């Protein structure tokens, strides 16, 4: 098939297995991917999952190639983010038409999504009274900069929506909601917000933390169960400070917890936070709110109840489980992980790491209970239980 595509004027690159496919796709520059579901080593579905972590369906179309009888694989592939599929034996004219259709859609998206002009803050440039030092992060709604604030005589982090990023009203509302959520909470393990503004662009200034995220810290530190309990106790305490203000984080995960040079955790990224007094329309969209590996059952299936403070307790339980065992409680494709959360219990942590104290294992599993009523009643209760383990 690759030779026939080349004869049609397309540049084609081929690999022999799933592992090479992931490397080539993530390191290279492609307009479209044809992915066989049945590949040696890593399956096509696993490759699809990894690629979708970096590229959206509009940014990189993926067409799955599958046998005629594999309807369940097709359903799963489409659910995981495949754009289309081709049945083997391949009908080449049909395959070519589908490939060209996806390439045309990608080109149209690229033209529409290009900002009218691009703009970035440069080192030593002024933004209001702040002096930019360097860019430290880039997201879908804007960028984060390390800046100097002469008023406070300190470095702060400036999160800003820059010109050329044409956001919807709901995206702007989420951006400002994150700032409002953080500003309402006062706790040593939650970033402080110093200023919120809309001119010249929507922005807010917050604490600048020099450090590593929690997953990096756990990988590099020889963290004992006692040390892990101490870190998670402080995170639970920070969550309690948010919860008593009526704020549910909803996207608690290791990358949203920074560890500073003194080993103190700092809870951040409240972009998906839900506040009791907010417009419910902001959180009732078709988007999946949260990260599958850390989502509570009620974030997946409304039959388990509404999303509330105990949903964050579940997410922290998953983080605790991973830190203690070195493994995720549930593995597989995102769809399989979500199914397991609703239908299975995780392995006992002590069966993976016998050095975990039985009492700490009990805390971990209680925090991760499928039913909310079986978890800790409050994050403060969880924090106190973890502090006992840290002594």
**Cα angle 61, 66, 67; round to 5:** 160
**Cα angle 313, 319, 321; round to 5:** 100
* Residue 107 assigned ligand-binding role: no
CA distance 131 to 125: 6
Give per-residue burial for 286-308: e unless 16+ CB within 10 Å, then b: eeeebbbbbbbbbbbeeebeebb
The conformation of residue 58, written as its DSSP 8-state character, comes to T
User: H-helix or E-strand containing 359?
Assistant: helix 358-367
Phi-psi region of 150 (alpha: psi -120 to 50; beta: other; left: phi over 0): alpha
Three-state secondary structure string covering 134-174: EEEEECCCCEEEEEEECCCCEEEEEEECCCCCCCCHHHHHH
Phi-psi region of 75 (alpha: psi -120 to 50; beta: other; left: phi over 0): alpha
User: H-helix or E-strand containing 84?
Assistant: strand 84-88
- Other CB atoms within 10 A of residue 110 CB: 12
251 belongs to the catalytic site: yes
Catalytic pick from 73, 84, 149, 251? Answer: 251
Burial class (CB within 10 angstroms; exposed 0-12, middle 13-18, buried 19+) of 2: exposed
SS3 245: coil
- C-alpha pair distances (Å), 277 with each of 197, 379, 381: 21, 21, 25
CA distance 243 to 252: 13
Q: How far apart are the first and last CA of the chain?
A: 64
Cβ–Cβ < 8 Å for 86, 106 = no
Beta bridge partners of 86: 65
Give the catalytic positions in this structure: 251
Residue ranges of the binding site for ATP: 159
Residue ranges of the binding site: 159
């Amino acid at each position: 098939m690759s030779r026939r595509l080349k004869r049609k004027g397309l540049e084609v690159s081929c690999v022999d297995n799933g592992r090479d496919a992931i490397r080539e796709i993530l390191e290279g520059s492609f307009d479209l991917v044809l992915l066989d579901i049945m590949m040696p080593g890593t399956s096509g579905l696993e490759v699809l999952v990894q690629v979708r972590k970096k590229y959206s369906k509009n940014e990189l179309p993926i067409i799955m190639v599958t046998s005629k009888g594999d309807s369940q694989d097709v359903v799963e592939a489409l659910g995981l983010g495949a754009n289309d599929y081709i049945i083997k034996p391949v009908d080449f004219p049909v395959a070519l038409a589908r490939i060209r259709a996806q390439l045309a859609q990608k080109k149209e998206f690229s033209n529409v999504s290009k900002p009218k002009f691009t703009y970035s803050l440069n080192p030593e440039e002024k933004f209001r009274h702040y002096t930019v030092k360097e860019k430290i992060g880039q997201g879908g709604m804007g960028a984060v900069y390390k800046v100097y604030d002469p008023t406070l005589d300190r470095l702060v982090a400036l999160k800003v929506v820059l010109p050329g990023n044409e956001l919807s009203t709901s995206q702007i509302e989420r951006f400002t909601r994150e700032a409002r959520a953080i500003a309402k909470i006062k706790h040593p393990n939650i970033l402080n917000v110093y200023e919120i503004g809309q001119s010249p662009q929507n922005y807010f200034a917050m604490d600048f933390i020099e450090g590593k995220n929690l997953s990096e810290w756990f990988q590099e530190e020889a963290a004992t169960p006692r040390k892990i309990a101490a870190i998670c106790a402080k995170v639970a305490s920070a969550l309690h400070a948010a919860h008593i203000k009526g704020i549910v984080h909803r996207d608690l995960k290791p990358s949203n917890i920074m560890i500073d040079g003194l080993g103190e955790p700092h809870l951040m990224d409240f972009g998906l936070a839900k506040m009791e007094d907010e417009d419910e329309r902001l959180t009732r969209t078709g988007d999946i709110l949260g990260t599958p590996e850390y989502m509570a059952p009620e974030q997946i299936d409304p039959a388990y109840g509404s999303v509330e403070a105990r949903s964050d307790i579940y997410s922290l339980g998953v983080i605790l489980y991973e830190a203690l065992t070195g493994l995720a409680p549930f593995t597989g494709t995102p769809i399989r992980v979500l199914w397991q959360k609703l239908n299975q219990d995780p392995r006992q942590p002590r069966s993976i790491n016998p050095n975990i104290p039985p009492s700490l294992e009990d805390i971990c599993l209680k925090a991760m209970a499928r039913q909310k009523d079986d978890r800790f009643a409050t994050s403060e209760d969880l924090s106190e239980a973890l502090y006992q383990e840290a002594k």
